[in-house]
Amino acid sequence: MPSKVEIKYTQLFINNEFVNAKTGRTFPTYNPATEEEIAQVQEAGEDDIDLAVKAARKAFERDSEWRKMDASARGNLLYKFAQLMRRDEDYLAKLETLDNGKTYAESLADIDCSIKCMEYYAGWADKISGQTIPADGSNFCYTRHEAIGVCGQIIPWNYPIMMAIWKFGPALACGNTIVMKPAELTPLSSLYLGSLFREAGFPAGVVNIVPGFGHIAGNALAMHMNVDKIAFTGSAITGRKIQEASAKSNLKRVSLELGGKSPFIIFDVDDEYLQKAAEDTAFSIFSNQGQSCCASSRVFVHEKVYDKFLEKLKKIANEKIVGDPFDENVTSGAIINDTQFKKIMSYIDIGVKEGATLVCGGERVGNKGYFLKPTIFADCSDEMRIAKEEIFGPVVSVFKFKQEDEVIRRANATTYGLAAGLYSKDVNQIIKVSNSLEAGTVWVNSYETTANQAPFGGFKQSGFGRELGEYGLHEYTEVKTVSIAIF
């Protein structure tokens, strides 16, 4: 482990100030690699959420500094914030690794992508425009894309900084104000971002960050009558609760990015492509300890190359070094906490009992910290629970198939639809299968190659709405039609 990482902020960030919670309560955040407490963090309650919403509402008033700011100046602020992140990327990466358990290298990569995402949306700030419409009659008709208002944003623990930036970027580029609740398991990096917003010169109240628990702080935010939109990334169970809260309160706008059980189809390809497919599978399911909503957890391999693929994937898995996430030689860090670790282990037990072949892994590493060997199951059937339920860990199920239409049907036989992938050299096959898969993103001859310029989001119970790209802006604006009679 490195020398102790200084924890600079543990209070709520409201109206450009770090303040104690009105609840008088704090909660601990832990290091997954050591199981030791890192710090006590102020816990937001309903009154704190209300205070943050009032600050955001005031910052969104029609004559406020933020509302009157030129769009280009707004973009400059976003760009300045991104440069402050770049300045502090080493500290942010250490903080992320300490609080989340992923390797330092993974944290650095996340932060680099996040900085580029904020820069991307900084460039959009003065390019959001409507249309001039040739309406019938003697009228001049045009549309405006206007900021929605106060946006509540609730993010998960698996990619704390990246998920925050995916929501901050488009919301701020469009001119909204924000109340964000980071996950209670990983609040530290989000709070530090609050200090960078203040340093960059964002007006008070534009960004507020309120760590707390979902059933208290999250519910208060989702139910608040002065919140105009909720953006949520997390489980389908919580996504349903947010939908219900919207209906029971003020019908606030909602966008959801939820879970997945993503299929990755490997057709009868040559050895070079098969090796790349195995590497992409391992990258997707073993990076971040498999705690990713779009991880390739169901891999369908053509019967002609099934055994060869398994050999390649097993070799990669066995070469993974599990341990201290600050060690530069380590490639797999820690699971987030004991609850998630036990959940993953229970699914491994279920897989064995259901008759799947445990190819490798399935064992805890060490007796301190939540470390698990990368795990591969073979000889899986579609009816097994490990084939249908989201495990959210470094566990992959590998299936055998014969026919193209068969594998399309099996790949789509899930309630989720976040992502999918395939390996093939046949252009006709690539187009047919890509068009047939029921997923928001399909990667071809690669996997999990997200881009800030391309939209990301799900079909079915993986949610609705899109993040990233120009489509991500659509979630944070209202379209107004103005029609002027000409005499």
Question: What phi and psi, each to the nearest 5 degrees, are found at residue 359?
Answer: -75, -45
Cα separation, 237 vs 232, in Å, equals 12
Put simply, whether the predicted model's pTM sits higher than 0.85 gets the answer: yes
Catalytic residue among 117, 151, 174, 293: 293
Picking from 32, 189, 16, the residue whose alpha carbon sits closest to that of residue 101 is: 32
Picking from 115, 78, 55, the residue whose alpha carbon sits closest to that of residue 202 is: 78
Picking from 25, 18, 17, the residue whose alpha carbon sits closest to that of residue 44 is: 25
Q: Are strands 177-181 and 207-209 parallel, antiparallel or unpaired?
A: parallel
The reported pLDDT for the residue numbered 385 is: 98
Cα separation, 474 vs 312, in Å, equals 42
Report DSSP letters for 312-376, one per residue: HHHHHHHH--BS-TTSTT--B---S-HHHHHHHHHHHHHHHHTT-EEEE---B-SSSS--B--EE
The reported pLDDT for the residue numbered 4 is: 86
The reported pLDDT for the residue numbered 2 is: 56
Q: Which residue has the tokens 């209202």?
A: 478
The helix/strand/coil state of 407 is helix
Active site residue 294: no
Give the tokens for residue 353: 């009992």
Radius of gyration from C-alpha coordinates of the chain: 23
pLDDT digit string (tens) for the chain, length 487 residues: 555 899 999 999 999 999 999 999 999 999 999 999 999 999 999 999 999 999 999 999 999 999 999 999 999 999 999 999 999 999 999 999 999 999 999 999 999 999 999 999 999 999 999 999 999 999 999 999 999 999 999 999 999 999 999 999 999 999 999 999 999 999 999 999 999 999 999 999 999 999 999 999 999 999 999 999 999 999 999 999 999 999 999 999 999 999 999 999 999 999 999 999 999 999 999 999 999 999 999 999 999 999 999 999 999 999 999 999 999 999 999 999 999 999 999 999 999 999 999 999 999 999 999 999 999 999 999 999 999 999 999 999 999 999 999 999 999 999 999 999 999 999 999 999 999 999 999 999 999 999 999 999 999 999 999 999 999 999 999 999 999 999 9
Catalytic residue among 119, 184, 257, 475: 257
The reported pLDDT for the residue numbered 1 is: 53
Q: Which residues contact 326 (CB under 8 A, 6 or more apart)?
A: 1, 2, 33, 94, 97, 103, 104
Q: Which residues contact 228 (CB under 8 A, 6 or more apart)?
A: 148, 149, 150, 151, 250, 252, 253
Active site residue 151: no
Report DSSP letters for 257-306, one per residue: E-----EEEE-S--HHHHHHHHHHHHHHHHGGGG--TT---EEEEETTTH
Of how many residues is the chain composed? 487
Picking from 416, 352, 343, the residue whose alpha carbon sits closest to that of residue 384 is: 352
Cα separation, 473 vs 145, in Å, equals 10
Note the maximum CA span of the chain: 81
